[in-house]
Amino acid sequence: MSALVNLISYLRSKPNLLMGLFTLMLGVFVLFDAFATRHGAHFAGDKVVGFWAIFGFGGTIIMTKFMKWFAHEVLIRPLDFYEKKEGEE
Amino acid sequence: MSEFFALNDSFSYPILSYLVFLPLAGAVVSLFLRGDKVLKSFAFLVMVAEALLSIPLYTSFDGATAKFQFAEFIPWINAFDINYTLGVDGISLLLVMLTTFVMPLCVLCSWKYIDKRINEFVFALLVMETAMIGVFLSLDLILFYVFWEAMLIPMYLLIAVWGGDNKAYASLKFFLYTLAGSVMLLVAIIALYFSTGTFFVPTLMEHGYTFAFQFWVFLAFALAFAIKVPMFPFHTWLPAAHVEAPTPGSVILASVLLKMGTYGFLRFCLPITPTATLYLAPILLWISIISILYGGFVALGQKDIKKLVAYSSVGHMGFVTLGIFLINMQGVEGAILQMVNHGITTGALFICIGIIYERSHSRLIADNSAIGAFMPVYVAFLGLFSLSSLGFPGTNSFVGELLVLIGAFEKNKLIGAFAIPGALLAATYMLRLLQKIIWDKDDGHGHHGDGVHEHHFFDLNLREFGTLAFLAVFVVWIGLAPKPFIAKMSASVSKVIEQTNATEASALLPAPGWSGFMKAMGAGGDHHGEESGHGDAGHSTEAEVEAGGHDAPQTHGGESGHGESSGH
Amino acid sequence: MMYVHPALIMIIGALLAPLTRGVVRKCVLVATPVIAFYIVTTMYSMTPGDYGVINYLGFELITSRIDKLALVFLHVFTLMAIIGAVYALHVEDSSQHTAGFLYVAGSLGTTLAGDYLTLFVFWELMAVASTFLVWARREKQSIAAGYRYLLMHTFGGLVLLAGIFLRYHEVGSMEFTAMLPEHAGVAEYLILLGFALNAAMVPLHAWLPDAYPEATVTGAVFMCAFTTKTAVYVLARGFAGFELLAIMGAVMTLYGVGYAVIENNARRILAYHIISQVGYMVCGIGIGTEMAVNGAVAHAYAHILYKALLFMGVGAVLEMAGTADLSKLGGLYKKMPVAMVFTIIGGIAISGFPLTSGFVSKSMVIAGAGNAHEIGLMLMLTLAAVGTFLSVGIKLPYFIWFGEDSGVEPKKKLPWNMVVAMGIAGFFCIFIGVVPGWLYKMLPFAVDYEPYSAYHLSETFQLLGFTALGFYVLRKKMVPKAKLNLDLDIFYRRALDGFMAFARNPISPVNEWVSELYRVVGYRIALGAAAIASRFDVSIIDGVVDGVAHKVRETGDYVRHAQTGKLQQYIAIAVSAFFLLVLLVANI
C-alpha cells in the first residue's frame, strides 16, 4: 500500500512527466483506432477515425459548460434554502 | 317464530342467556366483596369464565345457515308483544366473541390504573358487559333498546368518576350525544311497532313498508347509529371522551361500543328498511369517505397520543361504514372483519398508551418520546399494532381493508379511488407517531418533557406483556389465516345483502331526481295524505299498513305518509 | 430437497439480529445472506415454473415464480446482501440490521412474486424497511428526509395498488405477466407509474438524491442496490418493449449525469448517478429486443456491485473523515489508500474501462440500441457514458483523494469488515470484466455479443482518454462549491406550503365549528333536558360525582386548535396529487 502511495506522490511531484505520458497515450489511442476494423457500423460517424475522441472531448466540454451555466442561472441556492422556507410558515 | 331460528341443540342449557347474565350475576355478587385485589381478581375471573363460556358458542356455531341459532324466546309483556328473545347469527357472533375476549383485558389493564372506588368500578364493568352482549344478541327491539340504554350509565360513570381533568365535560358530552341518538332510536322502534304491531326483529325484517315510511325510519335509526360509530360530523364526542376516559374506558369504548353503531346499521337499517338503504347508500358512502379522510387528516396534526388514536378510529370506522353501504359480499364481510380488527388493534393501542401514561403521566407525544432505548419489548408491540392500524400486509387490518377496497372497486371505481388516500394518511400518522415515540422529534435524539426521568420508563411487566401478547396473536392470526373467521359469517352476510337487494325492495325505489323523491314521499310535501303508494309497485301489506296505522302522537313530524292522520 | 423461500431466511435473520449479541450476532448477520445465496444457487437446478402457490381470500398467490430473468436478479441481490452484511458487521445498532434484512427480504419477495398481490405485499415491506434505514441516522435532516421518502413511496405503492385493483376488475386475474403496449390502459399505466417511482424515473426521481445521502453509511449501501433494481426487474418482466421507457430511460441517463457533474456531496453525486445508470436499464427494457434486455439485465447486475463499491468507499470516507462534501475533502490518498484503491476500482468499473464489469455490460445496452437502429438513443447513452466517467470516474476520486490537500484527517482506522466487503465487490467488478461469460450465462436470453472487439476497445479508449483531457482542460471550473442545486422536489415542497396555508384555515375552523355547534345548539337542549339528566344523576349517581350540573355550567373554553405538524404539508400534496390522478381515473 505504501508503495502505491509513494508512487502517486512521486507522480504528483512531476506534473510534466505525467502530462507527457498522458499525451503519448492519447496519441496511441487515435492511432489504434485507425487500424481497428469496424464490423456493423451503425452510422456514419462510426467510420471516421478518431470520431469518438472528438465525441469524448467535445461532449465533456459541452456538458460541463452547459451544466455549469444552467446551474448558475437556474438551480443554485444557498445550502439552507429549504430550512428557511419551511421556517417561514 | 321458529321459521327464523335454526335448530342447534349443541347445548342443553340456554347459552345465550347465560352469556348475557353471567356478568350481571357477577356484578351483584361483587357488591358483597371487599378489598381492591379481591374485587379485581373476582372481576377478572368472571370475565374469563364468560370468555370460556363463549368459546363453545363459537365452535358449535353452524356457519352454513343464516338463521338465528341458539335462539330463546320467552314471552314477557304480552300486551305489547314485547318478548325476551335472543339469537346469534354470523354477524353478531364475532362481535360477541370480541366483547367477551376484550373485557378481561380491560380488567388487566386497569389493575394499577384504577385506584379508587374499585367496588363501583367493577360493578360498572360487569354491568356493561351484560349490556353489550345483550345488545348484540337481542332479537326484540325493546329488549335491544333496554340493553342499549343500560350501557350508557356505566360508561358515563367510567369517564366521570375515573377520568382525567376535563372529565365532567367529556362525560356529559358523551352522554348527551348518545342520548340524543337514543331518542331517535326509540322513535324508530315505536314507529315500527305501530306499523307492524310487533317488536320482533325477524318479523320486522320480512315486513314491507312504503318508501316514505322506510325513509324516515332509516333516518331515525341512522342518526342514532351514526352518532355511535361515530360518523362525520357527529364525531366530536369521541376525541373528548377518549382523552378524558381512563384506559379501560377507552378500550371498551373503542373496541366494543363503537361497533354497536355499525352493528345497528347491519342488523336494522339494511334488512328492515332496504329501499331507503339502497336509496341513501350513495350519500352514506360519501360520508364514510369523508370520515376516512377527515379523521386521518386531523389525526396527523395531533400532539396528544390519545386524540390521535381517537381520530384514527373515526377514519377506521369510516372504512367499516364504507364496507357496509357497498352492500356487496366483499364490502360487508370486510366491514365486519374490520369491526373485529379495529376492536383488537385500537384496543391494543389504547392499552399501549395506558402503559406509557402510567410511567410518564402524560399523554403528549413530546413527553413520551425516545423511549425506544429503554422499552424495546414495548416498542416491538407498539410497532406491530401500529402496522396493523395502518393496514400493513400480514396484519389483520390489511385483510379487512383489502376486502372493503375490492368491494369498493366493484361498485364504483371513484369511491375506491377516494378511499385509497385514506390508507396513505393512516400510514403517515401512525408511522410518524411510531418514529417520535421510538426516537424523537426532528433531531432524533432523546429529550423529555420537564420532570420526566429516564428511569421511570421501565419495560413491560408480565401482566402488561400477557395482555399485549394475547392481542398480538390475533393480529397476526387473522392477518395470515382469515378464512375461518370469514367462513362463520358468510351465510348471514349473504342473507343481509339478499334482503337489501331484494326485488321488492328495489321496486319501491323512487324515480331519480327531486320530483321522484317528493312523489314517493307522498306528493308535494304533504306528509299526512293517503296517497302514498301511488305509482309504486303495490305490496299487499301496504293495504294493511294504510288501514291499521295511526301516528304515535309524540313522533317527530313526517315519518308517516301512510294512513289517515289521527287527531290533527 | 425442500424449497425454502429466500425471503423467509432474510426475515428470520432480521428477527434474530436484535436478539443476539457479540460473536453470535455477527455469525447470524453473515450466515443469513449466505444461506439465502445458497438457496438461490440451488434454484438453478429447479425447473422453471410457479412454486409455493397459496390460496388466500380466494386469490391464488404465486410466491415463487422461477425463471432465468428472476434468477439472475436473485443471484445478485443475495450476493449484494452478503456484501452489505459484511460491510455493516461493525454496526452496533441492531435496528439497522433488522431494517436492512427486511428490506432485502422485500426485494427478494418482489422478484419471486408471480402475482400482483404478493408483489404488493413485499413492495410495501421494502418501502417501510428502507425508511427506517434513513431514520436510523437520527439527524435532523435525516428524519425529515425519511418522512418525505416514506410519503413518496407510500404514494407510489398506493398508485400501484389502484392499478392492480383496476386491472383485476378488468382482467379478472392477479397474475403478473408481460404486458403489451397495445393493450395498455389506465390500469396498466397506473401500475407502470408505481413501478416508475421506485425506479426513480424522471420526474418521479427526486426522492432518491434527497434520501440516500441522509441514510446511514451502511444503510445507503443496502439502499443503492435494491429499490431501484427491483423496480428494474418488474419493469423488465412487465413492460418490456414499451417505447415510452426507451425514451424516458435515455432522458434519465443524461439528467442524472448532468446533476452529478455539478453536485458537491459525494453521496449525492452517486445518488444522481444511480438515476443515470438505471436509465440505461430502463432504456434497454424499453427497446425490448433480446440484446437490449440482456444488456439491461447485465448492466443491473454489474451496477449493483460497482455502485455498492462506490458507496462503500465514500461511506468509509464519511465514517472516517466525518464528511462527504467534496468541497471539504482532498488529498486523502496518503491517509486512506485502501479506500482509495477500491473507490477507484469502482470508478473505473462504472466508467466502463476494459477488463471491468462496466465494459462488458453497459456496452451491450448501447449496442442493443444500435442494433435496433435507435441511433439517437445510442448517442444519448454514449454521451451519458462520457458524463459518467467525468463525474464519477474522474471528478469524484480527484477531489477526494487527490487535488488540494484539505487537511482532513481520518479519525479512526478502517474496520476490517469494511475492507473485506469492498474487496469482495471489487473482485467481482474485475472478474466479470475478465470473464464476461460467467455473467452472460445467467442472462435471460442467449448472448450473441462479443465485448472485446478491436473496434469496441478503440472506441472506449478514445472516449475515456479524451474525456480525461477535457477534464484536465476544465479542471478549475470543476472545483465543487458548497451550494444547493434545485431539483423537481421544489415543486412538491413549494406547493405544500401554499396548500397548507389554505388547508389550515378552513379545516381546523370547520372542526371547531362543528364542536361549537354542540355548545351552541346541543348545550341549550342539554339545559332543557337537564331535568332528565339530573334525575338520572341524582337517583343513580348520588354523591358519586359531586356537583356535575355545577361543573357543566362552569365548563370553560372549548377552543381546540388542530395542531399541524409539517407532515400535513407533505400529506396534502400527496393527497391532492392523488385527487388529480383520480380525475383521470374517473373518466373511465
**B421–C575 CB contact, under 8 Å:** yes
Collect all residues with Cβ–Cβ distance below 8 Å to B6 and sequence separation of at least 6: B62, B65, B67, B68, B69, B71
| Nearest one of B98, B88, B433, B41 to B252, comparing CA atoms | B98
- Partners of A20 in the β-ladder: none
Residue in C closest to A21 by C-alpha: C465
Q: Which of C545, C554, C566, C576 has the highest number of chain B CBs within 10 A, making it the mutation to test binding with B? A: C545
Lowest mean pLDDT among B211-215, B556-560, C275-279: B556-560
Residues of chain C contacting A57 with CB distance shorter than 8 Å: 466-467, 469-470
CB atoms within 10 A of CB C580: 10
B31: left (phi over 0), alpha (psi -120 to 50) or beta: alpha
In angstroms, what CA-CA distances link A39 with C365, C371, C452, C453, C454? Answer: 17, 12, 13, 9, 10
B539 neighbors B504 (Cβ within 8 angstroms):
yes
Closest to B241 in 3D by CA, of C518, C554, C541, C563: C518
Q: Are C405 and C330 in contact (CB under 8 A)?
A: yes
Q: For position A87, what pLDDT does the model report?
A: 44
Distance between CA atoms of residues B194 and B173, nearest Å: 32
**B233-255: buried (b, 16+ CB within 10 Å) or exposed (e) per residue?**
bbbbbbbbbbbbbbbbbbbbbbb
Cell of C494: 413549494
pLDDT of residue C420: 92
The residue ranges of every structural domain in chain C are: 1-234, 240-481, 489-586
Q: Are C230 and C198 in contact (CB under 8 A)?
A: yes
Average pLDDT, integer, range C22-44: 90
Q: How far apart are CA C518 and CA C560, in angstroms?
A: 14
In this predicted structure, which of B290-299, B371-380, C425-434 has the lowest mean pLDDT? B371-380
Secondary structure letter of residue C499 according to DSSP? H
Chain C within 8 Å of A72 (Cβ-Cβ)? Answer: no
Per-residue pLDDT, averaged over B31-59, amounts to 89
From CA C123, how far away is CA C473, in angstroms rounded? Answer: 46
For residue range C116-142, what is the model confidence (pLDDT) as tens digits? 988 998 999 999 899 888 888 877 778
Gyration radius (Cα) of chain A, Å: 22
Please name every residue paired with B115 in a beta bridge, in sequence order, or none if there are none. none
CA separation for the pair C428, C557 (Å, rounded): 69
| Rounded (10°) CA dihedral C318, C324, C327, C331 | 40
Q: DSSP letter for C487, please.
A: -
Query: Is the Cβ–Cβ distance between B383 and B392 less than 8 Å?
Result: no
Cell 393493450 sits on residue: C183
Å between A13 CA and nearest CA of chain C: 12
Measured in angstroms, the CA of C580 and the nearest CA of chain A are apart by 25
B556: nearest Cα among B199, B283, B190: B190
**Is the pLDDT higher at B126 or at B532?**
B126
Residue B421 to residue C137, Cβ atoms within 8 A: no
The CA R_g of chain C, rounded to the nearest whole Å, is: 27
Nearest to C147 by CA among C135, C156, C137: C135
Residue C224: partners with Cβ closer than 8 Å, 6 or more residues away? C212, C270, C271, C274, C307, C308, C311
Element (H, E) at B286: helix B274-300
Question: Cell digits for B278?
Answer: 339502497
* Contact by Cβ (8 Å): C218, C265: no
pLDDT over 50 at B163, yes or no: yes
Within chain C, what is the greatest distance between any pair of CA atoms?
A: 102
Beta bridge partners of C485: A76
In whole angstroms, how far apart are CA C36 and each of A50, B405, C573?
A: 48, 35, 40
Residue B49: what residue type?
A
Question: How sure is the predictor about B524, in pLDDT bands with cuts at 50, 70 and 90?
Answer: very low
Closest Cβ–Cβ partner in C371, C463, C487 for A52: C463
pLDDT digits (tens, 9 = 90+) for C34-71: 999 999 988 888 888 888 888 777 778 888 888 889 99
Chain B contact probe: residue of C19, C138, C507, C525 with most B CBs at under 10 A:
C138
Grid cell at residue C142 = 435525516
Chain C residues lying within 8 Å of A60, measured CB to CB: 386-387, 390, 466-467, 469-471, 474
Are the beta carbons of C114 and C537 closer than 8 angstroms? Answer: no
Q: Cα–Cα distance between C500 and C575 in angstroms, integer?
A: 12
Question: Which contiguous run of DSSP H or E holds residue B71?
Answer: strand B69-77
Do the Cβ atoms of C121 and B393 come within 8 Å? yes
What kind and span of H or E run contains B425? helix B413-438
A30 within 8 A of A49, measured Cβ to Cβ = yes
Report d(CA B197, CA C396) in Å as an integer: 87
Question: How far are the Cα atoms of A53, B498, C384, C462 from residue A29, in angstroms, in the given order?
Answer: 9, 82, 21, 6
Helix (H, G, I), strand (E, B) or coil at C153: helix
Look at residue C379 in the predicted model and tell me its pLDDT: 86
Whole-number pLDDT of residue C377:
86
Whether C586 and chain B come into contact, CB under 8 Å, resolves to: yes
Where does C353-415 have alpha helices with state H? 357-371, 375-388, 396-401
* CA B322-B221-B192 angle, 5° bins: 135
Q: How far apart are CA B66 and CA B64, in angstroms?
A: 7
Q: Are C165 and B406 in contact (CB under 8 A)?
A: yes
Distance CA C29, CA C33 (A): 7
Mark out the alpha helices in C89-138 (DSSP H runs).
Answer: 94-112, 116-135
Encode pLDDT of B434-490 as tens digits.
Answer: 877 776 654 445 455 444 555 566 778 888 888 899 999 999 999 888 888 888 888
* Gyration radius of chain B's alpha carbons: 24
The fraction of chain C above a pLDDT of 90, given in percent, is 25
pLDDT tens profile B371-425: 766 777 888 888 899 989 988 888 899 999 989 998 888 888 888 888 888 887 7
Q: Enumerate the residues of chain B whose CB falls inside 8 A of the CB of residue C174.
A: none
The predicted complex's ipTM stands at 0.83
Give the nearest partner residue to B424 out of C143, C158, C540, using CB atoms.
C158
**What DSSP string runs through C286-333?**
HH--HHHHHHHHHHHHHHHHHHHHHHHHHHHHHHHHS--BGGG---TT
Residue B544 has a pLDDT of 33
By CB atoms closer than 10 A (0-12, 13-18, 19+), residue A9 is exposed
